[in-house]
Structure formats: structure tokens, C-alpha cells
Amino acid sequence: MDEMIGCDWSTGATYEVIGIMITMGKDDIRVVEARPFIHQVGGRAVMLEITPETICKLYKEKEFQFYKHKPDYLKEFTPHYKGLVSIKCSQDGDIPMFHAEVPGCILQNTDYPNNIEKREEVKSGLDNWSLSRIHKEVKYKGLCSSSDKHDYTMLGNLVGSLRMPCILDLKIGTQQTGDDTTEEERRVREDRSANSTSGTMGIRLSGMHMYEAETNTYLSHNKHHGWTLDDAGLRQELRRFFHNSCVLNVRDITRIINKLRRLHRILSIQDKFYFFGSSLLLFYDGYLNNDHCSDHSKEGTTPSEKFDQSEKGLNVDQPTSSDEKDKRKNEGEGLNSVHLPECEYDTSTADVRLIDFGRTVLKSDMKEHSYGTQFEEGILFGLVNLIDILQSIADN
């Protein structure tokens, strides 16, 4: 089922964009400046920010097809798809400039002037991975070498509402290559993965921004740091990510654990996609947690722990076999019937999403189904280990 943007064309709306008053209505297209997305922590694709609520990344056919036909049961675990946008890159000296032709409805619900001030708040210590990707695309692939426009996929900004986003990008699975590579390329990549935490744990740090409340600065790591970590080092980074110099954010950890459990259940049943090269994006608001240190340090049963109690019957110890998948479906445990109880008192900003679908393929199109099955088990293995690590951090 397609997931499209919700644009109400019944009324126009007026906003100030780049100093120009505009009126937006049906079929209205406006040119706005797109900037490097400062909270991109990993990935190869160029990512830009159009508004605080909307980011975009260079178009990839497989990723576009995934978002266009994303099933309902995956929507809460993936970014919101908003359509395609054309962006032109021009260069003034060494500085690339991007201008996007944006549908008016993308700007209709944006408090643009106020959010621009928030977006430009100085955040010391951020490693601008997006800018490094832009420079590589400009230098090696001629991104700004012609007057041509490039297509980008617009997505909801998962951290747009957070004041001090703490973001962790984890490559998921013991293998990341699909059937779009040669045997030699696959062997080289798999050998490298096998000698990292991808091979031993099914997860690998691909990027991180963590706000440290005590110093009011960010700690940043990119994928190169992730390749150097052993199992103990990765566990240490995961613990550090949820500790913002104030307190260990057990509530946020618990919330993410429970969502990961549900994701594990869904991925063990779904039979539509192989998510080659995808990542898990974990995030929460470090600023909010800094303001509520005493609340996060309280002992006793928190609302999120009530989530945990409701999920105790979920077995995530072993990959799910085909027989178990069929059994669950026959017993009514279909994908749309997997529910996680909500808690009216939970105010945690923590969440997790599955991202990066540039190599995602339909299982029906996969040439080597045995390889796909092995890959799928690697993803479930990584989820189990991540849940185990986070649970251990929360318990201790």
C-alpha cells in the first residue's frame, strides 16, 4: 500500500521562505534552499534538510520502490515517505548550494521562521557527515557539474522535533551484501564483516551523535570508528549512548527494547522483503532528559517497565523457522495483529526505525533464496543480541 503525503489543498496558506512571502495552494511549487542535514550520522547517500520536518536523500530506485509499496505493518518502524522532489546543485567557489522545488503542502504545516532559528542553533562537537558525503559526490561523481536537476526522496525528519537529538546508526545483520554484487565483491565485503562486530554480534556501529549534558557538547563517531570496535567496545558505546553525563536513561532504553522486540516478531514473520544493507536508527532527546534527570533516576516500576512485563512471553532467543512462521499465521498471529501495549504516562522521546533501503529486494525477485534465508537469520541474530545488550544495561 502506498504511503503518500497528506496535503489539504482546500485552503491556501502564507509563509515566509527565504525572505519571500508566498501563498500556497493547489499544485503550487516553490523553490527553497536545501541544506546539509547536520544530524546525518551514517550512510553513503547525500541527505539534505528542506524543512525541520522534511529531509531528503538522493534517489535510489530500490529504495523508492520500497517506500511506494511499503506494507502497513512496517510503517511504524520506518520513516514517513513524502514523495519525490527535484533539487538543483550549483557551486559558488568551493561551496555547493542546493535549491529544491517543493510542493506547497510540504511547507503548509511548518512553523518555518521559528524552526529555522532552532535548526541553526550551534551544536558543538557535531561531525557533519552529510557535508563530507556532499563533497565526495561533488568531487568524484560530478553532483554540481551540470545544470541538471537530481531526484531526491523526501522523508519525515525523525529527529526534527528534538532539541538535542542523540542518534545511533547500527548496521544490522551478519551480512550486508545482496545479489547486486559480483561474487568477488561479496566475498571481500563478507570477509570484512565477519572480522567485525557484524560477524560476531550481527550489529555494527555506523555512526553516532550523543549529546553530553555536562559539557553541553556532542560526541560524534562515524562508521570508521565502528570497524575498530570489538564486542566489548560496542557494548561500551551502547551504554555510553544512553548515558548523557546526567543519568543512565533506563526509561528510554526500556522503550526501545520493547519496540525492538516487536520488530523482531514482525521480521521473523514477514515474507516480502530482504533488507540488504539496512540499519537501525536509535534516537532520543538528550535535552529533554537533561531537564528531567531526577525523573529518570527514580527507582521503581516505570511506565516503560510495564511494557516490558507485557512482552515477557516473547521468545527472541532463536531465529524463526518457516514452520513457526506458518504456525503463527494459522493461529492468527499475522503481521497486523502484533500489538505493543501503549502507556498513557510514558513521555519518553526514545524511538527506533529501520532505515536505508537502497539494496532492499523483493523475496520473489531474489536469485539465491538460500543466501537470502541465511541473511535473514543474521538480521534476527543481530536484533536478539542488541535486545540482550540493552536489557543488560538497563538491569545493571
What is the model's pLDDT at position 328? 47
What is the model's pLDDT at position 300? 37
Q: How many CB atoms lie within 10 A of CB 56?
A: 27
Q: How many CB atoms lie within 10 A of CB 207?
A: 25
Q: What is the pLDDT of residues 292-322, one digit of tens each?
A: 544 444 443 333 343 343 344 344 444 445 5
Distance CA 206, CA 168 (A): 8
What is the model's pLDDT at position 261? 98
Pick the closest to residue 42 from 172, 150, 145, 156 (CA basis). Answer: 172
What is the model's pLDDT at position 369? 57
What is the model's pLDDT at position 334? 53
User: What does pLDDT average to over the chain?
Assistant: 77
Stretches where the chain sits below pLDDT 50 are 1-2, 4-26, 112-113, 115-116, 119, 289-291, 293-320, 328-333, 337-345
What is the model's pLDDT at position 320? 47
Q: What is the 3-state secondary structure (H, E, C) of the chain?
A: CCCCCCCCCCCCEEEEECCEEEEECCCCEEEEEEEECCCCCCCCCCEEEEECCEEEEECCHHHHHHHHCCCHHHHHHCCCEEEEEEEEEEEECCEEEEEEEEEHHHHHCCCHHHHHHHHCCCCCCCCCHHHHHHHHHHHHHCCCCCCCEEEEEEEECCCCCCCCEEEEEEEECCCCCCCCCCHHHHHHHHHHHHCCHHHHHCEEEEEEEEEECCCCEEEEEEHHHHHHCCHHHHHHHHHHHCECCCCECHHHHHHHHHHHHHHHHHHHHCCCEECCCCEEEEEEEHHHHHHCHHHHCCCCCCHHHHHHHHCCCCCCCCCCCHHHHHHHHHCCCCHHHCCCCCCCCCCCCCEEEEECCCCCEEHHHCCCHHHHHHHHHHHHHHHHHHHHHHHHHHHC
Q: What is the pLDDT of residues 130-161, one digit of tens each?
A: 777 887 777 766 777 777 788 999 999 999 99
| In the chain, domain spans | 9-113+121-157, 161-287+348-395
Contact 249, 213 (CB under 8 A): no
Q: What is the CATH number of domain 161-287+348-395?
A: 3.30.470.160
What is the model's pLDDT at position 90? 84
What is the model's pLDDT at position 314? 41
